[in-house]
Structure 1
Amino acid sequence: MSDHSHSTVDIPILFEDNHLLGIVKPVNVPTQEDASGDPDLLTLLKQDLKERYNKPGNVYLGLVHRLDRPVGGAMIFAKTSKAASRLSETVRGRDFRKIYTAVVHGKPPAQRGTLKHTLLKDARTNTVTVVPPGTAGGKDAVLDYQVLGQNDRYSLVRVELHTGRSHQIRVQMQAIHCPLFGDQKYGAGVNKPGQQIALWSTIAGFPHPVTKEEITLKSLPPREFPWAEWPVHVYEQAFQN
């Protein structure tokens, strides 16, 4: 077990009670331990809870949804197994709101729309492709998008996911010829190696697993290129229903 306690990753806390821990996931930190062996979010947060609450032994923290490694933003973890199983049900039952902002190349065909595709994942290459409906192994993918801002090269879009497929936003936006800024996998022709993918978890909303009150975690992307192409008030439109 390597010692991650000296990690300098700063993880802002959005919400915390006895049941839940809501945080802003930093970009390029894996959600859970992966082959890279880099410090992962789950380990870092457990370490932090252990230190903050001076807990002996292992700390419980349940992972109920994931963000791809290059993606940052609002994310919720469960601090008890009961909260974890209830939240997982919420995610499966689609009562979990997932809203993202993304910077894409070009202009979507309309200011707002719904995208429906069938996606097939190739686990070997960890890539996802759009396939004809009815394809064996294909899964339905549905999202709503709304254009919040545009300039001559890029569009800023708000995306609400209705399904939780692997790489869903990246693949579906590429399918309408608007690949995400910085996406090497699904926009290699228009992006330069080393660019950071411009996809951010802006809202995670769900009923509290115990109190049932509606919890809404909100996070805005950093004020750097390409996000800084638009003023903050443009992003805040993403918070309106």
Structure 2
Amino acid sequence: MGAFEKVISTPKNLQVLYEDNHLIIVNKRPGDIVQGDKTGDLPLSEVVKQYLKEKYQKPGNVYLGVVHRLDRPTSGLVVFAKTSKALPRLNKLFSDKKAKKTYWAIVKEAPQKIEGTLTHWLKRNPKQNKSYANDREVPDSKKAILQYRILKKLDSYYLLEIDLKTGRHHQIRSQLSALGHPVKGDLKYGFPRSNKDASIHLHARKLEFEHPVQNKPLSILAPLPKDPIWDACS
């Protein structure tokens, strides 16, 4: 599998999609990690902090709360809280499933049905960092639900739009693999070839929720990564 060496986010190339006094929403590129991990690579959260520090010329530490995460090879919308007032409200909003998350995924073959609902019980294997989808409830499993529809036929692939109803570990990747249609480039879940940059063709495309402080509806759309297959989807 390729490395993510070429993908280094900095405050200069950060793609900010929305910002106000309470929150900031950015478009994560494949290869960025949202929070620090054992790799020691610079996480997106620190890049956003640096961006805010430079933009507002803050002399001390910058407050930033991580609301949710995306897998490293995945791209798209990530929300951060800029205030301690907004963070618990955003956390509750996401945990109560009041944020509508829409993803785009590229698969090789078309599912038998143009649209459908997938329900599985996912069991996570921490050592493998992988979730296994079961048709029935098994010990230590969590129910996972998503809705999909075929959005577009490409030359060699299909574009799926996915509405995530639950937020489980590797949920879309695991459930599409169980359906027999792993995400393009996702070796971990059964796609035969990796992408050259180690990304997978899974993108957090749209996020809709009520602002946690201003109580106004927000609808944010994330531009697609630049590559020939994503280009064919727009």
Q: What is the identity percentage for the equivalent residue pairs of Structure 1 and Structure 2?
A: 38
Of 133, 142, 149, which residue of structure 2 is paired with 1:146? 149
Code of the residue aligned with 2:136 in structure 1: it is P
Distance 1:54 1:152 in 2: 48
Of 211, 214, 217, which residue of structure 1 is paired with 2:217? 214
The corresponding residue for 2:194 is: 192
Code of the residue aligned with 2:162 in structure 1: it is V
Say yes or no: does 1:203 pair with 2:192. no
Structure 1: 5+ residue runs without aligned partners?
Answer: 1-5, 233-241
Question: In the TM superposition, what whole-angstrom CA distance separates every residue of 1:149-180 from its partner, at most 9, and x where no partner exists?
Answer: 11463110001101000110011111111110
Q: Does the 8 Å CA contact 2:31/2:74 hold for their aligned counterparts?
A: yes
The corresponding residue for 1:102 is: 105
Question: In the TM superposition, what whole-angstrom CA distance separates every residue of 1:129-158 from its partner, at most 9, and x where no partner exists?
Answer: 012423111000000101111146311000
Distance 1:7 1:84 in 2: 23
Distance 2:34 2:49 in 1: 12
Say yes or no: does 1:46 pair with 2:49. yes
The corresponding residue for 2:22 is: 19
- For residues 169-180 of structure 1, what are the structure 2 equivalents within 5 Å? 169-180=172-183
4+ residue runs over 2 A deviation:
6-9, 131-134, 192-196
Q: Does the 8 Å CA contact 1:184/1:193 hold for their aligned counterparts?
A: no
The structure showing larger relative contact order (alpha-carbon pairs under 8 Å, at least 6 residues apart) is: 2
Larger deviation, residues 40-49 vs 195-204: 195-204
Distance 2:98 2:144 in 1: 16
How many residues align? The count is 226
Say yes or no: does 1:158 pair with 2:161. yes
TM-score w.r.t. the length of structure 1 is 0.89
Q: Does the 8 Å CA contact 1:31/1:42 hold for their aligned counterparts?
A: yes
Deviation at 1:8, TM superposition (A): 6.9
TM-score w.r.t. the length of structure 2 is 0.91
Q: Does the 8 Å CA contact 1:128/1:171 hold for their aligned counterparts?
A: yes
Question: In the TM superposition, what whole-angstrom CA distance separates every residue of 1:96-151 from its partner, at most 9, and x where no partner exists?
Answer: 11111010121112111110000000011101101242311100000010111114
Of 29, 34, 43, which residue of structure 1 is paired with 2:32? 29
The corresponding residue for 1:64 is: 67
Distance 1:96 1:59 in 2: 26
Code of the residue aligned with 2:87 in structure 1: it is A
Code of the residue aligned with 1:198 in structure 2: it is H
Say yes or no: does 1:75 pair with 2:78. yes
The corresponding residue for 1:236 is: none
The corresponding residue for 2:93 is: 90
